[in-house]
Amino acid sequence: MAKRDYYEVLGVAKGADAAEIKKGYRQKAKELHPDRNADNPNAEAQFKEANEAYEVLKDPNKKAAYDRYGHAAFENGMGGGGGGPRGGQGDFGSAFSDVFDDLFGDFMGGRGGGRRNAAQRGNDLRYNLRINLEDAFSGMQKTITVPTAVGCGSCNGTGAEGGSEPQTCPTCSGMGKVRAQQGFFTVERTCPTCSGMGQTIKDPCRTCHGQGRVEKEKSLSVNIPAGVETGTRIRLAGEGEAGMRGGPTGDLYIFIEVQNHALFERENTNLYCRVPVSIATAALGGEIEVPTIDGGRSRVKVPEGSQSGRQMRLRGKGMPALRGGGIGDMFIELAVETPVKLTARQREILKEFDQLSEDNNPHGSSFFDTVKSFWDSMKS
């Protein structure tokens, strides 16, 4: 069976330039790859045909010979210049490797196997900070101590003793990765000599042992804005770990946890405070004094006949919204207390009051009327 024209195989026009040929091959390689065409028995043969075509057309000398003589250029030893495609199928490893970098180069550490930068960015750090509700209300300046890695002063972060320069890794030629041929595919692995750094140090720094950084505690002053709540994250740029061998420093993230309060319960910017009141105050009405989160006091009027669970609002007495946006409210919830440890006189007064208060308990009267109706219906 006669071979198809190589330009036709790659889907490009005759005389196409190198960029067009490479683009055509990329499309065909993705389209015809056997892993994507398990149900197409011809896919592997077409895939090899595309590899063979690209192997010839990507090489200027082979391309010139093909343009002049066609397939005959690689028959009977014609064409010279390194010979034709091996076994009539082309060097797939070489061909696919050319587009491997183009397809995956950015992910693997740079296009075209470019030299890897030995300096690596330091890790970001997390610090959990617990504060009380009063500090969350007013904001604060807090000094924290963070264990981290800082640049080594002995070698100025290079990792090399006496300021000497690191050497390019002889195994990977500075790329930080090595390639191995496995069948049809070229596999890249981290260089075992330099551990992916791309450089080796002949005489490591005695202080940091070639790392370019040392472990140390660092004290930082942190501004906690008013209105923070549990889960608020504060970023301190450049306060994380120092980079490897002079690389940029990571960031420090401070996560806020606001402790529960003995008096107030928080819901976004609103505060809730449960205040006990006596039966007399709830029944007759009166005034109570309640605390506020700013350390002050507010007097609140209790309406006559108030029940447990009744809420009253104090506007503007809640928490400030983070970075502006107003202030929430404070809600007072009444809890009517039943007196305990009564004296004989108090018992006598309460019994007398109970005998005179048949019409003074609206909820109780309504409840027992409903109960009586229920029992009557059950009997019938």
Residue 51 lies in a domain: yes
Residue 108 lies in a domain: yes
Residue 364 lies in a domain: yes
In DSSP notation, 23-45 reads HHHHHHHHHH-GGG-TT-TTHHH
Whether 300 and 314 have beta carbons less than 8 Å apart is answered as: yes
CATH number at 95 reads 1.10.287.110
Name which of 153-157, 169-173, 179-183, 351-355 the model is least confident about.
179-183
Q: What is the pLDDT of residues 303-334, one digit of tens each?
A: 999 999 999 999 999 999 988 779 999 999 99
Residue 94 lies in a domain: yes
Q: How many domains does the chain have?
A: 3
Contacts of 48 (CB under 8 A, 6+ apart): 89, 90, 92
Q: What is the pLDDT of residues 177-230, one digit of tens each?
A: 888 776 667 788 888 877 777 778 778 888 887 778 888 888 999 999 999 999
Alpha-carbon dihedral angle through residues 22, 26, 27, 31, given to the nearest 10 degrees = 150
Packing angle between helix 92-108 and helix 18-32, nearest 10 degrees? 90
Tell me, yes or no, whether 318 and 374 share the same domain: no
**Residue 14, token pair as written in the block:** 């005759």
The boundaries of the domain holding residue 290 are 265-336
Token pair 């019409």 is found at 359
d(Cα 270, Cα 252) in Å, to the nearest integer? 30
Tell me, yes or no, whether 87 and 52 share the same domain: yes
Q: What is the pLDDT of residues 72-87, one digit of tens each?
A: 777 654 444 444 454 4
Residue 24 lies in a domain: yes
Of the residues 75, 95, 113, which one is the last residue of a structural domain?
A: 113
Tell me, yes or no, whether 280 and 349 share the same domain: no
Residue 135 lies in a domain: no
Whether 21 and 6 have beta carbons less than 8 Å apart is answered as: no
Does the annotation place 155 within a ligand binding site? yes
Of the residues 74, 90, 113, which one is the last residue of a structural domain?
A: 113
Tell me, yes or no, whether 328 and 350 share the same domain: no
Does the annotation place 205 within a ligand binding site? yes
Does the annotation place 273 within a ligand binding site? no
pTM: 0.56
CATH number at 296 reads 2.60.260.20
Residue 176 lies in a domain: no
Of the residues 51, 80, 113, which one is the last residue of a structural domain?
A: 113
